Amino acid sequence: MTFKEQIQQGIPSELPLKKEYDLNINHAPKRKEILSAEEKKLALKNALRYFDKKHHETLLPEFAEELEKYGRIYMYRFRPDYKMQARDIKEYPGRSKQAKSIMLMIQNNLDYAVAQHPHELITYGGNGAVFQNWAQYLLTMQYLSQMTDEQTLTMYSGHPMGLFPSSKNAPRVVVTNGMMIPNYSQPDDWEKFNALGVTQYGQMTAGSYMYIGPQGIVHGTTITVLNGFRKINKSPKGNLFVTAGLGGMSGAQPKAGNIAGCITVCAEVNEKAVHTRHSQNWVDEVFSDLEELVTRVNKAKESNETVSIAYLGNVVDVWEKFDEANVHVDLGSDQTSLHNPWAGGYYPVGISFEEANVMMAEQPELFKEKVQETLRRHAAAINKHTAKGTYFFDYGNAFLLEASRAGAEVMAENPSIGREFKYPSYVQDIMGPMCFDYGFGPFRWVCASGKPEDLAKTDKIACKVLEEIKQNSPEEIQQQMADNIQWIQGAQENKLVVGSQARILYADAEGRMKIAKAFNKAIKKGKIGPVVLGRDHHDVSGTDSPYRETSNIYDGSRFTADMAIHNVIGDSFRGATWVSIHNGGGVGWGEVINGGFGMLLDGSKKASKRLKSMLFWDVNNGIARRSWARNDEAIFAIKRAMEVEKSLKVTLPNMVDDTLLNNV
């Protein structure tokens, strides 16, 4: 069968041969035992309902074995034989170009070069899934190949509920992931209901088909590190940034450190992850001996080097050793997957990676105890460094939250609303006031032709647009404009593409609209092929996350999720090709609500109209909310937006003199 025929057939009527478990692939850890005997039967019934009854007798023992061995039913037998990668949009079967663009993005999320655990359909973060099983993938791709521009596919946590009549102006796909009743949104609830096959953790851009490999987080981390050094009035050159994690998202940190120009030490316990990043040239050097690491770092400091170093081992050992050896750390953070602390997101110190994985599955309570002991040690070591002048920030991975739950010394001596912890979230001190409040966030695009030359052309178009905008930009945003022009000018030489031909930069509404409009004109003229627009959920408007994206909202509303819900609803009727809303992405199940979108530009007048309507809303929704929280930068930005767009009328806050409240 051809590739197109395989897509069109969906779930095959005859069973494919059973596939061997490939030990060369980076697999998801075994999930803990959480289902009762009756619930296991229900999980099996739920899995078998995808298949003709004549196959149930064959598949039942196979699925039961998967559930027992891995804690989930992935349906490995049904994994396609064709290469999983984003193809030229023309290679996909179908009646809707918009649907074809979504197929392209789904396959990119599952590309072996992109996905963390591709056979388990997990893109990043240890549990950020595109689908729960391979039957869902096959059925979804089939539906997309059948879809017209007057139908919408509804996705319930990886399950394609079906194609429904809609209109040409409606989204082609609406995605929800993990949308639990609030009282059933704890970590063990995810374990249970995911094992039953009724929900999934979509992370952010994994379950919304908008992940572009680690490039996205490389850019965000570069901006964060640059601004982090600015905050402490130091040049990155010859100065040290210490962090942890080399997985799907965190693997970007050493590359970002190199672009920023500092010395980066990044610890990782998973040897496969370390060697993957080293082989991809995302990290320069690898050490497993602490004495040798200290010697190498001191040499880099003396020589004012820019170098990224991976330490194969636990980051707690690094922090403790650097304290003992008086290695000064300028910037410190952590990007292990602490949104998922009990299932492979964070590993205890003093135990091998392999031993920890066994303990995680077979002795989950002991594993939890060891993780919390490690968090206490981790925080204690960081406290010693910050006493010597290190600037430490939480990089939105729930480090401070989980450390506080473990009883670590991370709470502020004089807490205030929104400032409970001893150390700030990076959004509070860096990205919030410097970027998000002004409307700057992670705008991205994918060249649907798959041609590197198209990406090079879009880079030039975007750079030209930004340079033109910068000439008339107010002083308040000149630095943001300059950083992104520098980024896009160096994008090609930094070889950031993994998977699809994609790019990201931080842009405000004006930048996004003008870049998108220029792309659409170039497509119309035949200079480039179609382009898919998107963004990270980690943006100005997309996410309500009290310990990350909205951690610098101090009016008490940071625990509300109105903004993310309005974001997705508003995007859906303003022209998005697809929209998504998720529970838990980035910082953990039950801790956040976040939304995303995708939009196909095809050179048409309709696309031009949609991009203006949707992109303006997608950014200014968040600026309006941030301005109502009395954030000065956001008040500046929303007033500027109202001057540009006369039909925009936003409620502005009246400031209260704090002295009036002193006697209350």
Binding-site residue ranges: 125-126, 203, 268, 395, 586
Dihedral in degrees, nearest 10, Cα atoms 125, 131, 135, 139: -150
Q: How many CB atoms lie within 10 A of CB 406?
A: 20
Contact indicator for 623, 637 with CB cutoff of 8 Å: yes
DSSP 51: S
Distance CA 406, CA 454 (A): 49
In terms of Cβ atoms closer than 10 Å to its own Cβ (0-12, 13-18, 19+), residue 83 is exposed
496-509 CB burial, b ≥16 within 10 A, e <16:
bbbbbbbbbbbbbb
Match 């750390």 to its residue by tokens. Answer: 329
Distance CA 534, CA 577 (A): 10
Helix axes 478-490, 215-231, angle to 10 degrees: 140
Beta strands in 457-592 (DSSP E): 502-507, 531-535, 543-544, 578-583
Match 């627009």 to its residue by tokens. Answer: 533
Reduce the DSSP state of residue 8 to 3 states and report it: helix
Residue 387, C-beta contacts closer than 8 angstroms, at least 6 positions apart: none
Residue 560, C-beta contacts closer than 8 angstroms, at least 6 positions apart: 544
Residue type, 65: E
Which DSSP helix (H) or strand (E) runs through 620? helix 605-628
Quick one: residue 233, left, alpha or beta (phi over 0 = left, psi -120 to 50 = alpha)? left
Nearest CA-CA partner of 66 in 39, 47, 38, 42: 47
What does the longest C-alpha to C-alpha distance in the chain come to? 79
CA distances from residue 401 to 372, 411, 414, 539, 587 in whole angstroms, order as listed:
12, 10, 17, 21, 10
Contact indicator for 342, 367 with CB cutoff of 8 Å: yes
CA distances from residue 161 to 140, 156, 389, 629 in whole angstroms, order as listed:
9, 6, 54, 38
66 half-sphere exposure, CB direction, 13 A CA radius: 25
Distance CA 36, CA 58 (A): 23
* Dihedral sign from CA coordinates of 567, 570, 575, 577: positive
Task: Pick out the residues of the known binding site for NAD(+).
Answer: 125-126, 203, 268, 395, 586
Structure tokens at 97: 């170009």
Residue 340, C-beta contacts closer than 8 angstroms, at least 6 positions apart: 125, 126, 127, 187, 346, 588
Match 């910082």 to its residue by tokens. Answer: 587
